Amino acid sequence: MAKYTGPVCRLCRREGAKLYLKGDRCYSDKCSFTGRSFAPGQHGAGQTRKKVSEYGIQLREKQKTRRIYGVLERQFRNYFEKAERQKGITGVNLLVMLERRLDNVVYRIGLAESRNQARQLVRHGLINVNGRRVDIPSFLVKADSVVAVREESKESPIMKKIAESLGHKQAPAWIELTAADMSGKVTRYPTREEIDIPIQEHLIVELYSR
């Protein structure tokens, strides 16, 4: 399945929920989802929602999760299969794995305004993990790893802008933020309660268990 390249706000309307794909803009009055939460479609056709089947509900939950984290279909299936093989609750294992993606960790630290921007920073080689450059957004960050902006990248205009606001941001409990160094340490993996996305992961497990 090809990567979606259209307007990201359309995805929020399709899922009927804010996916926070534009970072800070999604929390402001400029968010286009506000007042237009109906599904997209010509001539207002998307404003009437049909009754959704149980399978449809499960599918939408999976699609919503994929879009929040920016993961392709095959990648997502691979994550689920790995989560299924691990000890513990499969749905929670899946979400923890998605949270460990490097692009997500960069976003959680506050080094990017959105996960999409975080992916771009990683791909362009602006991020180090434990002192080594990593340019793979799907790289899974381990506990006790330090994720930071490369020293030579701190002078770029985009990183200077982020640095100005970094001191006012608060990282989640499982990340230790050092704003002065533009870095964050993953002290442990997050618990389910600390993953603040509007997802019912058991529906995804039910979908793949069919």
Element (H, E) at 80: helix 73-85
| DSSP state at residue 154 | T
What pLDDT is attached to residue 54?
Answer: 96
What pLDDT is attached to residue 19?
Answer: 75
Could you count the other beta carbons within 10 Å of the beta carbon of residue 162?
20
What pLDDT is attached to residue 3?
Answer: 55
List, for residues 12-61, the tens digit of each pLDDT value: 655 576 676 757 666 566 655 566 555 665 555 555 557 889 999 999 99
β-sheet with 132-133: strand ranges across: 132-133, 127-129, 145-149, 183-186, 175-178
Q: Which domains does the chain have, with CATH numbers?
A: 1-50 (1.10.1050.10), 53-99+197-210 (1.10.1050.10), 101-186 (3.10.290.10)
Contact 100, 189 (CB under 8 A): yes
Nearest Cα residue to 201 out of 102, 107, 108, 93 = 93
CA 122 to chain centre: 14
What pLDDT is attached to residue 116?
Answer: 96
155: left (phi over 0), alpha (psi -120 to 50) or beta: alpha
What pLDDT is attached to residue 1?
Answer: 40
Distances 33 to 30, 37, 83 between C-alpha atoms, Å: 9, 5, 32
| DSSP state at residue 101 | B
What pLDDT is attached to residue 127?
Answer: 98
Spell out where 79-199 has E strands: 127-129, 132-133, 145-149, 175-178, 183-186
Can you give the pTM of this predicted structure? 0.80
> Which parts of the chain have pLDDT scores under 70?
1-15, 17-18, 20, 22, 24-49
